[in-house]
Structure 1
Amino acid sequence: MRAVLLGLSALAVLVFVVSCDDPADHQIPKAICGTHIDPAVSRPLVTSDEDLHEYNRVDRSEAITAPCVLLSGPDPVLDLGFSWDPNPTDLMYLAQGTGSVSHVTDPHAIDFTYKTVVGTDGAISIAPCQTNGGKYFTLTLQVPQISLTDQTHRKDIEKFMRAYFPATLKTLGCR
Protein backbone atom coordinates (compact mmCIF):
# COMPACT_ATOMS: atom_id res chain seq x y z
CA MET A 1 0.00 0.00 0.00
CA ARG A 2 2.84 2.37 0.87
CA ALA A 3 4.45 1.69 -2.54
CA VAL A 4 1.16 2.52 -4.27
CA LEU A 5 0.88 5.80 -2.32
CA LEU A 6 4.48 6.71 -3.15
CA GLY A 7 3.79 5.90 -6.79
CA LEU A 8 0.66 8.06 -6.80
CA SER A 9 2.56 10.90 -5.10
CA ALA A 10 5.31 10.71 -7.71
CA LEU A 11 2.69 10.70 -10.46
CA ALA A 12 0.97 13.75 -8.94
CA VAL A 13 4.28 15.63 -8.79
CA LEU A 14 5.06 14.68 -12.40
CA VAL A 15 1.62 15.86 -13.58
CA PHE A 16 2.10 19.13 -11.67
CA VAL A 17 5.56 19.73 -13.16
CA VAL A 18 4.39 18.93 -16.69
CA SER A 19 1.31 21.14 -16.36
CA CYS A 20 3.41 24.05 -15.08
CA ASP A 21 5.59 23.85 -18.18
CA ASP A 22 2.67 23.65 -20.60
CA PRO A 23 3.83 24.64 -24.12
CA ALA A 24 0.51 26.46 -24.56
CA ASP A 25 1.83 28.98 -22.00
CA HIS A 26 4.71 29.74 -24.39
CA GLN A 27 2.87 30.39 -27.64
CA ILE A 28 3.23 33.30 -29.99
CA PRO A 29 0.03 35.38 -29.79
CA LYS A 30 -2.42 35.34 -32.69
CA ALA A 31 -2.85 39.10 -32.32
CA ILE A 32 -0.03 41.55 -31.73
CA CYS A 33 -0.87 45.11 -30.71
CA GLY A 34 -4.47 44.69 -31.80
CA THR A 35 -3.74 43.18 -35.21
CA HIS A 36 -4.41 39.52 -35.95
CA ILE A 37 -1.46 37.77 -37.58
CA ASP A 38 -0.51 34.16 -38.20
CA PRO A 39 1.95 33.20 -35.42
CA ALA A 40 4.08 31.41 -38.05
CA VAL A 41 4.89 34.85 -39.53
CA SER A 42 6.02 36.41 -36.26
CA ARG A 43 7.66 33.28 -34.77
CA PRO A 44 11.05 33.79 -36.58
CA LEU A 45 11.36 37.27 -35.03
CA VAL A 46 10.51 36.31 -31.46
CA THR A 47 13.69 35.05 -29.84
CA SER A 48 12.01 34.09 -26.57
CA ASP A 49 8.37 33.23 -26.04
CA GLU A 50 8.40 32.90 -22.26
CA ASP A 51 6.03 35.21 -20.38
CA LEU A 52 4.93 37.07 -23.52
CA HIS A 53 2.87 40.16 -22.80
CA GLU A 54 2.24 43.59 -24.30
CA TYR A 55 2.85 47.13 -23.26
CA ASN A 56 0.37 48.93 -25.50
CA ARG A 57 -0.21 52.71 -25.54
CA VAL A 58 -1.94 52.71 -28.96
CA ASP A 59 -5.47 54.09 -29.08
CA ARG A 60 -6.79 53.44 -32.58
CA SER A 61 -9.89 55.61 -32.06
CA GLU A 62 -7.81 58.66 -31.12
CA ALA A 63 -5.05 57.98 -33.69
CA ILE A 64 -2.34 59.33 -31.40
CA THR A 65 1.27 58.39 -32.05
CA ALA A 66 2.26 55.72 -29.54
CA PRO A 67 4.31 52.56 -28.97
CA CYS A 68 3.24 48.97 -28.54
CA VAL A 69 5.84 46.49 -27.37
CA LEU A 70 5.68 42.70 -27.22
CA LEU A 71 7.83 41.68 -24.26
CA SER A 72 9.26 38.40 -23.10
CA GLY A 73 9.53 38.98 -19.39
CA PRO A 74 11.18 42.41 -19.12
CA ASP A 75 12.84 42.21 -22.57
CA PRO A 76 11.29 43.73 -25.71
CA VAL A 77 11.10 41.27 -28.62
CA LEU A 78 8.94 43.28 -31.06
CA ASP A 79 8.77 47.05 -30.74
CA LEU A 80 6.08 48.67 -32.89
CA GLY A 81 5.58 52.40 -33.33
CA PHE A 82 2.19 53.63 -34.57
CA SER A 83 2.25 57.14 -36.00
CA TRP A 84 -0.31 59.37 -37.73
CA ASP A 85 0.85 62.45 -39.62
CA PRO A 86 -0.66 65.16 -41.82
CA ASN A 87 2.11 64.70 -44.44
CA PRO A 88 3.96 61.67 -45.81
CA THR A 89 7.17 60.83 -44.00
CA ASP A 90 10.51 60.17 -45.70
CA LEU A 91 11.13 56.58 -44.61
CA MET A 92 14.85 56.57 -45.39
CA TYR A 93 15.29 59.70 -43.31
CA LEU A 94 13.48 58.01 -40.41
CA ALA A 95 15.36 54.75 -40.80
CA GLN A 96 18.77 56.43 -40.93
CA GLY A 97 18.05 58.77 -38.03
CA THR A 98 19.97 58.39 -34.82
CA GLY A 99 16.90 58.25 -32.59
CA SER A 100 15.73 55.07 -30.92
CA VAL A 101 12.12 55.34 -32.14
CA SER A 102 12.55 54.56 -35.81
CA HIS A 103 16.19 53.74 -36.51
CA VAL A 104 16.61 50.71 -38.78
CA THR A 105 20.05 49.35 -39.60
CA ASP A 106 21.02 49.04 -43.28
CA PRO A 107 17.56 49.95 -44.70
CA HIS A 108 16.56 49.06 -48.27
CA ALA A 109 13.30 49.84 -50.05
CA ILE A 110 11.31 46.76 -51.09
CA ASP A 111 8.84 46.23 -53.92
CA PHE A 112 5.53 46.22 -52.06
CA THR A 113 2.06 47.72 -52.32
CA TYR A 114 3.00 50.21 -49.60
CA LYS A 115 6.16 52.28 -49.37
CA THR A 116 8.38 50.17 -47.10
CA VAL A 117 12.01 49.93 -46.06
CA VAL A 118 13.44 46.80 -44.45
CA GLY A 119 16.68 46.57 -42.50
CA THR A 120 18.57 43.97 -40.53
CA ASP A 121 16.76 44.82 -37.28
CA GLY A 122 13.45 46.34 -38.34
CA ALA A 123 11.28 47.98 -40.98
CA ILE A 124 9.09 51.02 -41.65
CA SER A 125 5.95 51.25 -43.81
CA ILE A 126 3.67 54.17 -44.67
CA ALA A 127 0.28 54.46 -46.35
CA PRO A 128 -2.38 57.08 -46.88
CA CYS A 129 -4.85 56.70 -44.03
CA GLN A 130 -7.40 59.45 -43.43
CA THR A 131 -8.16 59.39 -39.68
CA ASN A 132 -8.64 61.88 -36.87
CA GLY A 133 -4.87 61.81 -36.31
CA GLY A 134 -3.75 62.65 -39.83
CA LYS A 135 -3.70 61.68 -43.48
CA TYR A 136 -0.83 59.15 -43.32
CA PHE A 137 -0.11 56.19 -41.09
CA THR A 138 3.45 55.03 -40.45
CA LEU A 139 4.33 51.77 -38.73
CA THR A 140 7.82 51.21 -37.42
CA LEU A 141 9.00 47.73 -36.43
CA GLN A 142 12.14 47.23 -34.41
CA VAL A 143 13.41 43.82 -33.38
CA PRO A 144 15.88 44.64 -30.58
CA GLN A 145 16.97 41.03 -30.00
CA ILE A 146 18.49 40.82 -33.50
CA SER A 147 22.13 41.81 -33.74
CA LEU A 148 22.72 44.84 -35.98
CA THR A 149 25.12 42.79 -38.12
CA ASP A 150 22.85 39.72 -38.40
CA GLN A 151 21.60 39.69 -42.02
CA THR A 152 19.73 36.39 -41.64
CA HIS A 153 16.40 37.90 -40.50
CA ARG A 154 15.88 40.47 -43.26
CA LYS A 155 13.49 38.15 -45.18
CA ASP A 156 11.64 37.30 -41.93
CA ILE A 157 11.19 41.01 -41.22
CA GLU A 158 9.97 41.62 -44.77
CA LYS A 159 7.51 38.72 -44.55
CA PHE A 160 6.20 40.06 -41.24
CA MET A 161 5.64 43.56 -42.64
CA ARG A 162 3.95 42.20 -45.80
CA ALA A 163 1.40 40.47 -43.55
CA TYR A 164 1.18 42.80 -40.55
CA PHE A 165 1.03 46.24 -42.20
CA PRO A 166 -2.02 45.61 -44.46
CA ALA A 167 -3.78 43.82 -41.59
CA THR A 168 -3.11 46.81 -39.33
CA LEU A 169 -4.46 49.24 -41.92
CA LYS A 170 -7.72 47.28 -41.91
CA THR A 171 -7.98 47.63 -38.11
CA LEU A 172 -7.50 51.40 -38.30
CA GLY A 173 -10.60 52.18 -40.34
CA CYS A 174 -8.65 54.30 -42.81
CA ARG A 175 -10.95 56.33 -45.06
Structure 2
Amino acid sequence: MNRTSASLVIVALAVTAVGCGDDGRGYAVPEKICDTKVDPDLLAPLLSDGEKIHQRDVPREHGATCDVSVQGGDGGGVYITRDAVTEGVDPLEVKKDTLIGYGNAKKVDIGDDARLGDKGALVTTSCAPKGKDTTFALEVSLSSPTPKDVSERRKALERFLRSYLPTAAKAQGCRS
Protein backbone atom coordinates (compact mmCIF):
# COMPACT_ATOMS: atom_id res chain seq x y z
CA MET A 1 0.00 0.00 0.00
CA ASN A 2 1.46 3.37 -0.95
CA ARG A 3 1.50 6.42 1.32
CA THR A 4 -1.53 8.07 -0.37
CA SER A 5 -3.67 4.94 -0.06
CA ALA A 6 -2.71 4.52 3.59
CA SER A 7 -3.62 8.15 4.29
CA LEU A 8 -7.03 7.70 2.62
CA VAL A 9 -7.74 4.60 4.70
CA ILE A 10 -6.88 6.47 7.93
CA VAL A 11 -9.10 9.42 6.96
CA ALA A 12 -11.98 7.07 6.07
CA LEU A 13 -11.69 5.29 9.42
CA ALA A 14 -11.62 8.60 11.29
CA VAL A 15 -14.74 9.86 9.49
CA THR A 16 -16.55 6.60 10.21
CA ALA A 17 -15.63 6.78 13.89
CA VAL A 18 -16.84 10.38 14.18
CA GLY A 19 -20.12 9.69 12.35
CA CYS A 20 -21.25 6.70 14.36
CA GLY A 21 -19.17 6.58 17.49
CA ASP A 22 -18.44 3.36 19.26
CA ASP A 23 -21.11 4.05 21.87
CA GLY A 24 -24.02 3.01 19.60
CA ARG A 25 -25.19 6.57 19.02
CA GLY A 26 -25.75 7.91 15.56
CA TYR A 27 -26.58 11.36 16.94
CA ALA A 28 -24.95 14.23 18.78
CA VAL A 29 -26.02 14.63 22.41
CA PRO A 30 -27.84 17.98 22.85
CA GLU A 31 -26.09 20.90 24.50
CA LYS A 32 -29.39 22.53 25.52
CA ILE A 33 -32.65 21.34 27.06
CA CYS A 34 -35.51 23.76 27.73
CA ASP A 35 -33.38 26.37 25.99
CA THR A 36 -30.89 25.97 28.86
CA LYS A 37 -27.30 24.74 28.58
CA VAL A 38 -26.54 21.21 29.72
CA ASP A 39 -23.30 19.30 29.90
CA PRO A 40 -23.58 16.74 27.07
CA ASP A 41 -21.17 14.42 28.89
CA LEU A 42 -23.54 14.31 31.88
CA LEU A 43 -26.67 13.96 29.73
CA ALA A 44 -25.28 11.19 27.49
CA PRO A 45 -25.49 8.34 30.06
CA LEU A 46 -29.23 9.05 30.46
CA LEU A 47 -29.95 8.63 26.74
CA SER A 48 -30.17 5.34 24.90
CA ASP A 49 -28.49 4.23 21.71
CA GLY A 50 -30.28 5.11 18.51
CA GLU A 51 -30.15 6.90 15.22
CA LYS A 52 -31.26 10.46 15.89
CA ILE A 53 -32.58 12.85 18.52
CA HIS A 54 -35.94 14.57 18.62
CA GLN A 55 -36.30 17.54 20.99
CA ARG A 56 -39.41 19.39 22.05
CA ASP A 57 -39.48 22.38 24.40
CA VAL A 58 -42.79 23.79 25.64
CA PRO A 59 -42.53 26.99 27.71
CA ARG A 60 -45.35 27.57 30.19
CA GLU A 61 -46.32 30.52 32.37
CA HIS A 62 -44.57 29.15 35.48
CA GLY A 63 -42.01 26.82 33.91
CA ALA A 64 -41.36 24.54 30.99
CA THR A 65 -41.64 20.95 29.88
CA CYS A 66 -39.02 19.52 27.60
CA ASP A 67 -38.16 16.14 26.23
CA VAL A 68 -35.27 14.61 24.38
CA SER A 69 -36.24 11.33 22.75
CA VAL A 70 -34.03 8.95 20.83
CA GLN A 71 -35.40 7.58 17.58
CA GLY A 72 -34.28 4.10 16.61
CA GLY A 73 -32.93 1.71 19.20
CA ASP A 74 -35.20 1.35 22.26
CA GLY A 75 -36.51 4.91 21.85
CA GLY A 76 -35.74 5.95 25.41
CA GLY A 77 -35.19 9.53 26.43
CA VAL A 78 -35.34 12.22 29.08
CA TYR A 79 -38.40 14.29 30.03
CA ILE A 80 -37.89 17.42 32.14
CA THR A 81 -40.45 19.55 33.94
CA ARG A 82 -39.45 22.86 35.54
CA ASP A 83 -41.91 24.72 37.73
CA ALA A 84 -42.04 27.73 40.02
CA VAL A 85 -44.37 26.51 42.77
CA THR A 86 -46.25 28.95 45.00
CA GLU A 87 -45.47 29.20 48.69
CA GLY A 88 -47.12 26.56 50.82
CA VAL A 89 -47.19 23.85 48.12
CA ASP A 90 -44.78 20.94 48.63
CA PRO A 91 -43.88 19.47 45.23
CA LEU A 92 -42.55 16.29 46.87
CA GLU A 93 -45.93 15.72 48.51
CA VAL A 94 -47.89 16.56 45.35
CA LYS A 95 -45.73 14.15 43.33
CA LYS A 96 -45.42 11.35 45.90
CA ASP A 97 -47.21 8.80 43.67
CA THR A 98 -44.96 9.72 40.75
CA LEU A 99 -41.92 9.27 42.96
CA ILE A 100 -43.14 5.81 43.98
CA GLY A 101 -43.45 5.00 40.27
CA TYR A 102 -39.81 5.99 39.74
CA GLY A 103 -38.82 3.02 41.89
CA ASN A 104 -36.81 3.04 45.10
CA ALA A 105 -36.93 6.83 45.47
CA LYS A 106 -34.46 7.87 48.14
CA LYS A 107 -33.62 11.24 49.67
CA VAL A 108 -30.43 12.75 48.23
CA ASP A 109 -28.53 15.89 49.15
CA ILE A 110 -29.31 18.10 46.15
CA GLY A 111 -30.98 21.52 46.41
CA ASP A 112 -33.20 22.03 49.46
CA ASP A 113 -34.82 18.58 49.14
CA ALA A 114 -34.68 15.82 46.56
CA ARG A 115 -35.76 12.26 45.84
CA LEU A 116 -33.93 10.12 43.32
CA GLY A 117 -35.33 6.85 41.95
CA ASP A 118 -34.44 4.24 39.35
CA LYS A 119 -36.44 5.99 36.60
CA GLY A 120 -36.46 9.64 37.64
CA ALA A 121 -36.00 12.32 40.27
CA LEU A 122 -37.54 15.45 41.75
CA VAL A 123 -35.44 18.25 43.22
CA THR A 124 -36.66 21.38 44.97
CA THR A 125 -34.80 24.53 45.90
CA SER A 126 -35.69 28.00 47.15
CA CYS A 127 -36.53 30.50 44.46
CA ALA A 128 -37.45 34.11 45.01
CA PRO A 129 -38.24 35.43 41.55
CA LYS A 130 -39.64 38.94 41.41
CA GLY A 131 -39.84 39.20 45.19
CA LYS A 132 -42.29 36.31 45.67
CA ASP A 133 -41.46 33.34 47.88
CA THR A 134 -41.65 30.27 45.70
CA THR A 135 -40.03 26.90 45.35
CA PHE A 136 -38.34 25.79 42.17
CA ALA A 137 -39.13 22.18 41.29
CA LEU A 138 -37.09 20.25 38.73
CA GLU A 139 -38.37 16.82 37.72
CA VAL A 140 -36.44 14.49 35.42
CA SER A 141 -38.10 11.33 34.13
CA LEU A 142 -36.21 8.64 32.22
CA SER A 143 -38.07 6.56 29.65
CA SER A 144 -35.33 4.18 28.58
CA PRO A 145 -35.52 0.63 29.95
CA THR A 146 -34.10 0.16 33.43
CA PRO A 147 -30.58 -1.24 33.05
CA LYS A 148 -29.30 -4.29 34.95
CA ASP A 149 -26.89 -2.05 36.88
CA VAL A 150 -29.39 0.59 37.96
CA SER A 151 -26.92 2.03 40.48
CA GLU A 152 -24.80 3.41 37.63
CA ARG A 153 -27.81 5.13 36.07
CA ARG A 154 -28.80 6.57 39.46
CA LYS A 155 -25.27 7.98 39.85
CA ALA A 156 -25.43 9.42 36.32
CA LEU A 157 -28.83 11.01 37.05
CA GLU A 158 -27.51 12.51 40.29
CA ARG A 159 -24.47 14.00 38.49
CA PHE A 160 -26.76 15.46 35.82
CA LEU A 161 -29.10 17.00 38.42
CA ARG A 162 -26.26 18.59 40.38
CA SER A 163 -24.96 20.19 37.20
CA TYR A 164 -28.30 21.21 35.65
CA LEU A 165 -30.15 22.48 38.76
CA PRO A 166 -28.36 25.87 39.11
CA THR A 167 -28.65 26.61 35.39
CA ALA A 168 -32.31 25.59 35.25
CA ALA A 169 -33.16 27.60 38.38
CA LYS A 170 -31.47 30.67 36.91
CA ALA A 171 -33.39 30.22 33.65
CA GLN A 172 -36.58 30.09 35.73
CA GLY A 173 -35.71 33.49 37.20
CA CYS A 174 -34.51 32.30 40.60
CA ARG A 175 -31.90 34.45 42.29
CA SER A 176 -28.93 32.69 43.83
**TM-score over 0.5 for the pair:** yes
Moved over 4 A (4+): none
**In the TM superposition, what whole-angstrom CA distance separates every residue of 1:117-149 from its partner, at most 9, and x where no partner exists?**
111111101112234797122111010103287
The residue matched to 2:41 in structure 1 has which SS? helix
**1:137–1:49 Cα change, 3 Å:** farther
Provide the residue aligned with 1:84 in structure 2.
84
The question of 1:158 aligning with 2:154 is answered: no
**In the TM superposition, what whole-angstrom CA distance separates every residue of 1:21-79 from its partner, at most 9, and x where no partner exists?**
934961101112222122110111111353212111124xx324x42111113845001
CA-CA distance at 1:168 after TM superposition: 0.7
CA-CA distance at 1:112 after TM superposition: 2.7
The residue matched to 1:97 in structure 2 has which SS? helix
| Alignment RMSD (CA, Å) | 3.2
Provide the residue aligned with 1:58 in structure 2.
59
User: How many residues end up aligned between the 2 structures?
Assistant: 153
Please tell me whether the aligned partners of residues 104 and 120 of structure 1 are also in contact (alpha carbons under 8 angstroms). yes
Structure 1, unaligned stretches of length 5 or more?
1-10
**In the TM superposition, what whole-angstrom CA distance separates every residue of 1:82-102 from its partner, at most 9, and x where no partner exists?**
2221134242652x4159xx9
**1:154–1:63 Cα change, 3 Å:** same
Please tell me whether the aligned partners of residues 45 and 77 of structure 1 are also in contact (alpha carbons under 8 angstroms). yes
Q: Give the TM-score normalised by the residue count of structure 2.
A: 0.71
* Counterpart code for 2:127: C
CA-CA distance at 1:80 after TM superposition: 0.6
Please tell me whether the aligned partners of residues 120 and 149 of structure 1 are also in contact (alpha carbons under 8 angstroms). no
The residue matched to 2:59 in structure 1 has which SS? coil
Please tell me whether the aligned partners of residues 52 and 72 of structure 1 are also in contact (alpha carbons under 8 angstroms). yes
* Counterpart code for 1:33: C
Alpha-carbon distance in 2 for matches of 1:68, 1:84: 15
Q: Give the TM-score normalised by the residue count of structure 1.
A: 0.72
* Counterpart code for 1:27: A
Provide the residue aligned with 1:22 in structure 2.
19
Alignment of 1:89-128 (within 5 A): 89-91=90-92, 94=95, 96-97=96-97, 103-128=101-126
